[in-house]
Amino acid sequence: MEVHPVGRDAIIETMRAILAADPAVRAAWLGGSDASGRTDRFSDIDLQAIVEDDRVEQVLARIHEGLERLSPIELRYRFPEPMWHGHSQELLRLRGADPNHFLDLVIMKRGTPGRLLEPERHGSALVLFDHDGLLVAETLDRAAHLARMEKRLADLRMQFPLYQPLVTRGIHRRQPAESAYLYQVATLKLLVELLRMRFCPARYDYGLRYLDRDLPPEWRRKIERLAFPASPAALLACQAQAAADFEDQIAALDRGEWTPGEGAWDLASGSA
Protein backbone atom coordinates (compact mmCIF):
# COMPACT_ATOMS: atom_id res chain seq x y z
CA MET A 1 0.00 0.00 0.00
CA GLU A 2 1.37 3.40 -0.94
CA VAL A 3 2.14 5.66 2.00
CA HIS A 4 1.04 9.31 1.73
CA PRO A 5 2.63 11.93 3.98
CA VAL A 6 -0.61 13.92 4.35
CA GLY A 7 -3.23 11.80 6.04
CA ARG A 8 -7.00 12.10 6.07
CA ASP A 9 -7.11 12.85 9.81
CA ALA A 10 -4.52 15.61 9.38
CA ILE A 11 -6.64 17.28 6.70
CA ILE A 12 -9.74 17.13 8.89
CA GLU A 13 -7.94 18.49 11.94
CA THR A 14 -6.36 21.29 9.90
CA MET A 15 -9.77 22.25 8.53
CA ARG A 16 -11.30 22.19 11.99
CA ALA A 17 -8.58 24.50 13.30
CA ILE A 18 -8.85 26.91 10.35
CA LEU A 19 -12.62 27.18 10.62
CA ALA A 20 -12.82 27.32 14.41
CA ALA A 21 -10.36 30.23 14.47
CA ASP A 22 -12.50 32.30 12.11
CA PRO A 23 -15.28 34.22 13.91
CA ALA A 24 -17.30 34.32 10.68
CA VAL A 25 -17.65 30.53 10.76
CA ARG A 26 -20.44 29.51 13.11
CA ALA A 27 -20.51 25.73 12.68
CA ALA A 28 -18.71 22.94 10.84
CA TRP A 29 -19.37 19.24 10.45
CA LEU A 30 -18.55 16.13 8.46
CA GLY A 31 -21.12 14.43 6.26
CA GLY A 32 -20.81 11.64 3.72
CA SER A 33 -19.24 8.42 4.97
CA ASP A 34 -18.39 10.01 8.33
CA ALA A 35 -22.08 10.76 8.90
CA SER A 36 -23.20 7.26 7.93
CA GLY A 37 -20.52 5.31 9.80
CA ARG A 38 -19.01 3.88 6.62
CA THR A 39 -15.61 5.57 6.46
CA ASP A 40 -12.78 3.47 5.04
CA ARG A 41 -9.37 4.17 3.51
CA PHE A 42 -11.01 5.18 0.23
CA SER A 43 -13.35 7.79 1.73
CA ASP A 44 -13.10 11.41 0.67
CA ILE A 45 -13.83 14.21 3.16
CA ASP A 46 -17.29 15.75 2.99
CA LEU A 47 -17.10 18.90 5.09
CA GLN A 48 -19.76 21.56 5.49
CA ALA A 49 -19.60 24.90 7.27
CA ILE A 50 -22.10 27.66 8.06
CA VAL A 51 -20.71 31.19 7.77
CA GLU A 52 -22.01 34.72 8.06
CA ASP A 53 -23.80 35.66 4.85
CA ASP A 54 -21.26 38.21 3.61
CA ARG A 55 -18.13 36.19 4.47
CA VAL A 56 -18.15 33.25 2.04
CA GLU A 57 -15.26 34.44 -0.12
CA GLN A 58 -13.16 35.55 2.83
CA VAL A 59 -13.64 32.18 4.53
CA LEU A 60 -12.67 30.33 1.37
CA ALA A 61 -9.54 32.45 1.05
CA ARG A 62 -8.54 31.64 4.64
CA ILE A 63 -9.17 27.95 4.00
CA HIS A 64 -6.90 28.01 0.98
CA GLU A 65 -4.20 29.84 2.94
CA GLY A 66 -4.44 27.45 5.87
CA LEU A 67 -4.38 24.32 3.75
CA GLU A 68 -1.32 25.60 1.89
CA ARG A 69 0.53 25.60 5.21
CA LEU A 70 -0.25 21.89 5.56
CA SER A 71 0.51 21.00 1.95
CA PRO A 72 0.21 22.78 -1.42
CA ILE A 73 -3.21 22.62 -3.06
CA GLU A 74 -2.54 20.85 -6.36
CA LEU A 75 -6.12 20.67 -7.63
CA ARG A 76 -9.04 22.96 -6.86
CA TYR A 77 -12.41 23.17 -8.59
CA ARG A 78 -15.16 25.65 -7.71
CA PHE A 79 -18.58 24.57 -8.93
CA PRO A 80 -20.52 27.16 -10.94
CA GLU A 81 -23.34 28.74 -9.02
CA PRO A 82 -26.16 28.51 -8.35
CA MET A 83 -25.69 24.91 -7.25
CA TRP A 84 -28.74 22.68 -6.84
CA HIS A 85 -28.42 22.91 -3.04
CA GLY A 86 -28.05 26.71 -3.01
CA HIS A 87 -24.57 26.83 -1.44
CA SER A 88 -20.96 27.32 -2.54
CA GLN A 89 -18.97 24.15 -3.19
CA GLU A 90 -15.34 23.34 -3.96
CA LEU A 91 -13.28 20.20 -4.45
CA LEU A 92 -9.65 20.39 -3.31
CA ARG A 93 -6.76 17.92 -3.39
CA LEU A 94 -3.50 18.40 -1.51
CA ARG A 95 -0.09 17.37 -2.74
CA GLY A 96 1.10 14.40 -0.74
CA ALA A 97 -2.42 13.25 0.14
CA ASP A 98 -4.04 10.06 -1.06
CA PRO A 99 -6.10 11.06 -4.15
CA ASN A 100 -9.08 9.39 -2.48
CA HIS A 101 -8.84 11.91 0.35
CA PHE A 102 -9.86 14.99 -1.58
CA LEU A 103 -11.91 17.59 0.27
CA ASP A 104 -15.51 18.12 -0.82
CA LEU A 105 -16.23 21.44 0.82
CA VAL A 106 -19.64 23.11 1.05
CA ILE A 107 -19.85 26.62 2.50
CA MET A 108 -23.35 27.67 3.53
CA LYS A 109 -24.54 31.16 4.24
CA ARG A 110 -26.20 31.38 7.63
CA GLY A 111 -29.34 32.84 6.09
CA THR A 112 -29.71 30.22 3.36
CA PRO A 113 -32.01 27.29 4.22
CA GLY A 114 -31.45 23.66 3.34
CA ARG A 115 -28.40 22.47 5.27
CA LEU A 116 -28.40 18.83 4.10
CA LEU A 117 -29.06 17.57 7.62
CA GLU A 118 -31.93 15.14 7.02
CA PRO A 119 -30.75 11.86 8.61
CA GLU A 120 -32.82 9.78 6.17
CA ARG A 121 -30.74 11.12 3.28
CA HIS A 122 -27.47 12.30 4.78
CA GLY A 123 -26.89 10.38 8.01
CA SER A 124 -26.00 11.92 11.36
CA ALA A 125 -23.65 14.90 11.06
CA LEU A 126 -20.29 14.48 12.81
CA VAL A 127 -20.04 17.90 14.44
CA LEU A 128 -16.63 19.58 14.56
CA PHE A 129 -18.00 22.64 16.38
CA ASP A 130 -21.29 24.53 16.63
CA HIS A 131 -21.10 27.93 18.33
CA ASP A 132 -24.78 28.81 18.04
CA GLY A 133 -26.64 25.50 18.18
CA LEU A 134 -27.35 25.59 14.45
CA LEU A 135 -26.79 21.92 13.72
CA VAL A 136 -30.17 20.45 14.46
CA ALA A 137 -31.24 17.43 12.43
CA GLU A 138 -33.79 18.49 9.86
CA THR A 139 -36.95 16.47 9.42
CA LEU A 140 -37.36 15.30 5.86
CA ASP A 141 -40.60 16.63 4.43
CA ARG A 142 -41.83 13.23 3.32
CA ALA A 143 -44.98 14.53 1.69
CA ALA A 144 -43.03 16.90 -0.54
CA HIS A 145 -40.33 14.29 -1.16
CA LEU A 146 -42.88 11.68 -2.16
CA ALA A 147 -44.63 14.18 -4.42
CA ARG A 148 -41.33 14.74 -6.24
CA MET A 149 -40.81 11.00 -6.46
CA GLU A 150 -44.29 10.41 -7.87
CA LYS A 151 -43.62 13.02 -10.54
CA ARG A 152 -40.33 11.34 -11.36
CA LEU A 153 -42.05 7.96 -11.52
CA ALA A 154 -44.47 9.33 -14.11
CA ASP A 155 -41.45 10.52 -16.11
CA LEU A 156 -39.80 7.09 -15.88
CA ARG A 157 -42.89 5.38 -17.22
CA MET A 158 -42.61 7.45 -20.40
CA GLN A 159 -38.84 7.85 -20.69
CA PHE A 160 -37.74 4.26 -20.22
CA PRO A 161 -39.54 2.68 -23.19
CA LEU A 162 -38.81 5.71 -25.37
CA TYR A 163 -35.08 5.54 -24.68
CA GLN A 164 -34.47 1.83 -25.24
CA PRO A 165 -34.17 1.98 -29.07
CA LEU A 166 -31.39 4.53 -28.57
CA VAL A 167 -29.47 1.84 -26.71
CA THR A 168 -29.95 -1.02 -29.14
CA ARG A 169 -29.56 0.87 -32.40
CA GLY A 170 -25.92 1.67 -31.68
CA ILE A 171 -25.12 -2.02 -31.66
CA HIS A 172 -26.93 -2.59 -34.93
CA ARG A 173 -25.14 0.41 -36.44
CA ARG A 174 -21.83 -0.96 -35.15
CA GLN A 175 -21.38 1.95 -32.77
CA PRO A 176 -20.87 0.00 -29.54
CA ALA A 177 -19.34 2.86 -27.53
CA GLU A 178 -22.49 4.93 -28.05
CA SER A 179 -24.65 2.01 -26.98
CA ALA A 180 -22.49 1.30 -23.92
CA TYR A 181 -22.92 4.88 -22.73
CA LEU A 182 -26.65 5.02 -23.40
CA TYR A 183 -27.17 1.63 -21.76
CA GLN A 184 -25.70 2.95 -18.51
CA VAL A 185 -27.65 6.23 -18.44
CA ALA A 186 -30.93 5.29 -20.15
CA THR A 187 -31.39 1.67 -19.12
CA LEU A 188 -29.46 0.65 -16.02
CA LYS A 189 -29.67 3.97 -14.18
CA LEU A 190 -33.42 4.23 -14.73
CA LEU A 191 -33.99 0.65 -13.57
CA VAL A 192 -32.04 1.37 -10.40
CA GLU A 193 -34.02 4.55 -9.85
CA LEU A 194 -37.24 2.57 -10.01
CA LEU A 195 -35.88 -0.05 -7.60
CA ARG A 196 -34.83 2.68 -5.20
CA MET A 197 -38.38 4.04 -5.23
CA ARG A 198 -39.46 0.66 -3.96
CA PHE A 199 -36.72 -0.18 -1.49
CA CYS A 200 -35.16 3.14 -0.34
CA PRO A 201 -37.44 6.04 -1.30
CA ALA A 202 -35.52 8.58 0.80
CA ARG A 203 -32.61 8.19 -1.62
CA TYR A 204 -34.41 7.34 -4.84
CA ASP A 205 -32.30 9.93 -6.68
CA TYR A 206 -28.87 8.63 -5.55
CA GLY A 207 -28.13 6.73 -8.77
CA LEU A 208 -25.94 3.63 -8.51
CA ARG A 209 -24.20 4.73 -5.31
CA TYR A 210 -24.57 2.74 -2.07
CA LEU A 211 -26.34 -0.24 -3.63
CA ASP A 212 -25.00 -2.45 -0.82
CA ARG A 213 -27.06 -0.60 1.77
CA ASP A 214 -30.02 0.51 -0.32
CA LEU A 215 -31.11 -2.55 -2.32
CA PRO A 216 -31.83 -6.11 -1.22
CA PRO A 217 -28.81 -8.40 -1.81
CA GLU A 218 -30.39 -10.23 -4.72
CA TRP A 219 -31.07 -6.98 -6.57
CA ARG A 220 -27.63 -5.61 -5.78
CA ARG A 221 -26.02 -8.74 -7.24
CA LYS A 222 -28.24 -8.55 -10.32
CA ILE A 223 -27.46 -4.88 -10.98
CA GLU A 224 -23.75 -5.57 -10.58
CA ARG A 225 -23.98 -8.36 -13.17
CA LEU A 226 -25.89 -6.13 -15.55
CA ALA A 227 -23.41 -3.28 -15.10
CA PHE A 228 -20.55 -4.99 -16.95
CA PRO A 229 -21.61 -6.47 -20.30
CA ALA A 230 -18.49 -7.93 -21.88
CA SER A 231 -19.35 -7.50 -25.56
CA PRO A 232 -21.93 -5.89 -27.88
CA ALA A 233 -23.91 -9.12 -27.85
CA ALA A 234 -23.78 -9.23 -24.06
CA LEU A 235 -24.93 -5.61 -23.91
CA LEU A 236 -28.01 -6.49 -25.95
CA ALA A 237 -28.74 -9.38 -23.59
CA CYS A 238 -28.26 -7.18 -20.50
CA GLN A 239 -30.43 -4.46 -21.99
CA ALA A 240 -33.21 -6.96 -22.68
CA GLN A 241 -33.00 -8.31 -19.13
CA ALA A 242 -33.00 -4.83 -17.60
CA ALA A 243 -35.96 -3.80 -19.74
CA ALA A 244 -37.86 -6.91 -18.68
CA ASP A 245 -37.08 -6.20 -15.03
CA PHE A 246 -38.25 -2.61 -15.40
CA GLU A 247 -41.54 -3.68 -16.96
CA ASP A 248 -42.00 -6.37 -14.29
CA GLN A 249 -41.56 -3.81 -11.52
CA ILE A 250 -43.99 -1.39 -13.16
CA ALA A 251 -46.52 -4.20 -13.58
CA ALA A 252 -46.10 -5.21 -9.93
CA LEU A 253 -46.61 -1.59 -8.92
CA ASP A 254 -49.78 -1.36 -10.98
CA ARG A 255 -51.06 -4.59 -9.41
CA GLY A 256 -50.59 -3.01 -5.98
CA GLU A 257 -47.76 -5.36 -4.96
CA TRP A 258 -45.67 -2.41 -3.81
CA THR A 259 -46.18 1.28 -3.25
CA PRO A 260 -43.58 4.04 -3.62
CA GLY A 261 -42.68 5.21 -0.14
CA GLU A 262 -43.01 1.88 1.69
CA GLY A 263 -39.27 1.12 1.62
CA ALA A 264 -36.54 1.77 4.19
CA TRP A 265 -36.05 5.40 5.22
CA ASP A 266 -33.31 5.21 7.86
CA LEU A 267 -29.87 5.61 6.26
CA ALA A 268 -27.95 4.32 9.25
CA SER A 269 -29.85 1.14 9.95
CA GLY A 270 -31.82 0.53 6.79
CA SER A 271 -34.94 0.10 8.94
CA ALA A 272 -38.29 1.52 7.94
Q: What is the pLDDT of residue 266?
A: 77
Query: With bands split at pLDDT 50, 70 and 90, how would you rate the model's confidence at 270?
Result: very low
Residue 171 lies in a domain: yes
Query: With bands split at pLDDT 50, 70 and 90, how would you rate the model's confidence at 269?
Result: very low
- The share of the chain scoring above pLDDT 70, in percent, equals 97
Burial category of 147 from C-beta neighbours within 10 Å (exposed 0-12, middle 13-18, buried 19 and up): exposed
Q: What is the pLDDT of residue 268?
A: 53
Q: What is the pLDDT of residues 110-159, one digit of tens each?
A: 999 999 999 999 999 999 999 999 999 988 999 999 999 999 999 999 99
Residue 271 lies in a domain: no
Q: What is the pLDDT of residue 34?
A: 96
Same domain, yes or no, for 164 and 234?
yes
Count: domains in the chain: 2
Q: What is the pLDDT of residues 39-83, one digit of tens each?
A: 999 999 999 999 999 999 999 999 999 999 999 999 999 999 999
Same domain, yes or no, for 78 and 188?
no
Q: Are residues 126 and 30 in contact, defined by beta-carbon separation less than 8 angstroms?
A: yes
Q: Are residues 187 and 162 in contact, defined by beta-carbon separation less than 8 angstroms?
A: no
Taking 80 as the threshold, does the pLDDT of residue 214 lie above it?
A: yes
Q: What is the pLDDT of residue 272?
A: 35
User: What is d(CA 60, CA 62) in angstroms, rounded to the nearest whole number?
Assistant: 5
Segments forming the whole domain that contains residue 208: 142-254
Burial category of 242 from C-beta neighbours within 10 Å (exposed 0-12, middle 13-18, buried 19 and up): buried
User: What is d(CA 82, CA 198) in angstroms, rounded to the nearest whole number?
Assistant: 31
